[in-house]
Amino acid sequence: MLAVLLSALFLLAVTHTQPSEAQDPRAAERARMVAEIAAMARETGAETGRPRFGEAVMAAMGKVPRHRFVPLQDIFAYDNRPLPIGEGQTISQPYIVALMTDLLDPKPSDTVLEIGTGSGYQAAVLAELVAKVYTIEIVEALGIRARQVLGELGYRNVEVRVGDGYGGWPASAPFDAIIVTAAPAAVPQPLIDQLKPGGRMVIPVGAASDVQHLLLVEKQSDGRTTTRRTLPVRFVPLTRDRGTKQ
């Protein structure tokens, strides 16, 4: 009887300690990526004011399957670097995704607007953290593909629109937070208008030929905004009128 009991306990232990490697063969790669993000956050903490990212943000980075968003670069999916996604666009470096997400201070009840869906990866990370994500992509092929991948992964709290994001998404405004993943020459006024008092916007700003800076814009209760620079960055330009609205 004792032998049978021990055998049963051993089988239970094996069942619960075998990872998830069979179920999730990329888990170890994501864990390595998260460790690299944490190390880089410590190195840049003096500039960003964020030497350590929130646990929820890091958990989201460790969960979202980045390889699903870069099918042509699958082998490099968990390298801490940007990758091409077609149509002349890129998926941001994981550290930058984590930094921008953390700067938003996302809360479970938040509604967030993203300008520049790209592959859909940033929207997926946000979807792990907030109640609703509205995201706009001007390149139709990318927007359609991102919508498909997000749907396949079960992100029901993300709504993707193909169109010009410069004017935001007035019908669903105001937003608790806004994130922009392409660089305009200046912060678009419509996005400031659609940000709730107390809300935050993270946006790279600068002409393609100039040094761009990642900005944190905070809207005060009286409607005024404060802006703080964090890091010099390099994003694709925020383009207009290339897509069709849906």
Note the pLDDT tens digit of each residue in 138-188.
999 999 999 999 999 999 999 999 999 999 999 999 999 999 999 999 999
- 119 carries an active-site annotation: no
In this structure, of 10-19, 188-197, 220-229, the range with the lowest mean pLDDT score is: 10-19
Determine which one of 7, 20, 92, 119 is catalytic.
Answer: 92
pTM for the complete prediction? 0.88
| pLDDT at 243 (0 to 100) | 42
pLDDT at 21 (0 to 100): 52
**What does the alpha-carbon distance between residue 224 and residue 193 come to, in Å, rounded to a whole number?**
10
204 strand-pairing partners: 214
More confident of the two residues 245 and 176: 176
Domain ranges of the chain: 26-233
CB environment 162-186: b (16+ within 10 A), e (fewer)? bbbbbbbbeeebbbbbbbbbbbbee
> Do the Cβ atoms of 65 and 26 come closer than 8 Å?
yes
Dihedral of the alpha carbons of 147, 97, 243, 69, in degrees to the nearest 10:
-40
- CATH class label, 26-233: alpha beta
